Chain A
Amino acid sequence: GAGVSQSPRYKVAKRGQDVALRCDPISGHVSLFWYQQALGQGPEFLTYFQNEAQLDKSGLPSDRFFAERPEGSVSTLKIQRTQQEDSAVYLCASSLTGNEQYFGPGTRLTVT
């Protein structure tokens, strides 16, 4: 069956540009999570949706980061005015039960 997909897989942005990262969760999974993974670190939580409701955004590092899931399926993570410290892999995960989370391949963002 289809897993979690993310696009683009790689994104290079000039400092100050806006970017949008897309996540397609596993069909039927109501929970969706975004994580940020820096080099040599484990993934770190950014934000969480249950259906279309954003229940937790405590991990978003600044107000330049914004996420949405308007129809309770596809989600978009938007980063405005990108900075070099935003360079990381952005991972999306979905879950049916709320326990096991299934991850997509990630989007590697490089800000130059």
Chain B
Amino acid sequence: DQQVKQNSPSLSVQEGRISILNCDYTNSMFDYFLWYKKYPAEGPTFLISISSIKDKNEDGRFTVFLNKSAKHLSLHIVPSQPGDSAVYFCAASASGNTPLVFGKGTRLSVIA
């Protein structure tokens, strides 16, 4: 059973619009959440993270929202740019120095 789920395998967005990527989790022990971006033939690149004591974290065009009661988080990218086209992975961990549990990823295509 998947503890971290990304239910949308793909998403297509026009350049300049908002991209919203969603992630659900089932393990209530998770207290740290991360988003990674992956280009083909490269390793995942860390984008942004959020601790369970917060409900929002912002870094430039990227904002992550956490809804603990719903066990749901989302990544907002605004405005979307063609260079944002990649696979985005949601990951979760239960306190520091523990393995990350990943979703299957969502492929984002930003169309010019």
A residues in contact (CB < 8 Å) with B: 4, 6, 31, 33, 35, 40-45, 48, 50, 56, 59, 91, 93, 95, 97-106
Stretch at the interface among B14-22, B57-65, B70-78, B89-97: B89-97
A51 CB to closest chain B CB (Å) equals: 12
Asked whether B83 is an interface residue with its Cβ less than 8 Å from the other chain, the reply is: no
Top 7 A-B pairs, shortest CB-CB distance: A42-B102, A98-B96, A98-B97, A103-B43, A45-B99, A105-B43, A103-B44
Are the CB atoms of A104 and B43 closer together than 8 Å? yes
17 contacts between A and B (CB under 8 A): A4-B43, A6-B43, A33-B100, A42-B4, A42-B103, A42-B105, A43-B100, A43-B102, A97-B96, A99-B32, A99-B96, A100-B46, A101-B46, A101-B100, A103-B43, A103-B45, A106-B42
Asked whether B112 is an interface residue with its Cβ less than 8 Å from the other chain, the reply is: no
Are the CB atoms of A43 and B44 closer together than 8 Å? yes
Since A43-B100, A91-B44 are in contact, a sample of 9 more A-B pairs with Cβ atoms closer than 8 Å, ordered by chain A residue number, is: A43-B102, A45-B101, A59-B99, A93-B100, A95-B97, A98-B97, A101-B34, A103-B36, A103-B45
Are the CB atoms of A31 and B104 closer together than 8 Å? no
Question: Which of B42, B44, B93, B102 makes the CB contact (< 8 A) with A99?
Answer: B93
Are the CB atoms of B43 and A100 closer together than 8 Å? no
Question: Which residues from A are CB-within-8-Å of B44?
Answer: 43, 91, 103
Are the CB atoms of B49 and A99 closer together than 8 Å? yes
A9 CB to closest chain B CB (Å) equals: 8
Are the CB atoms of B97 and A31 closer together than 8 Å? yes
Question: Which of B41, B49, B99 makes the CB contact (< 8 A) with A33?
Answer: B99
Question: Which residues from A are CB-within-8-Å of B97?
Answer: 31, 48, 50, 95, 98
A49 CB to closest chain B CB (Å) equals: 10
Question: Which residues from B are CB-within-8-Å of A93?
Answer: 43, 100
Binary contact track B27-71/A, C-beta < 8 Å → 1, others 0: 000001010100001111110010000000000000000000000
Question: Which residues from B are CB-within-8-Å of A56?
Answer: 99
Report Cα–Cα, A97/B46, bound state, in Å. Answer: 14
Q: Name which of A6, A42, A59, A105 has the most chain B CB atoms within 10 A of its CB.
A: A42
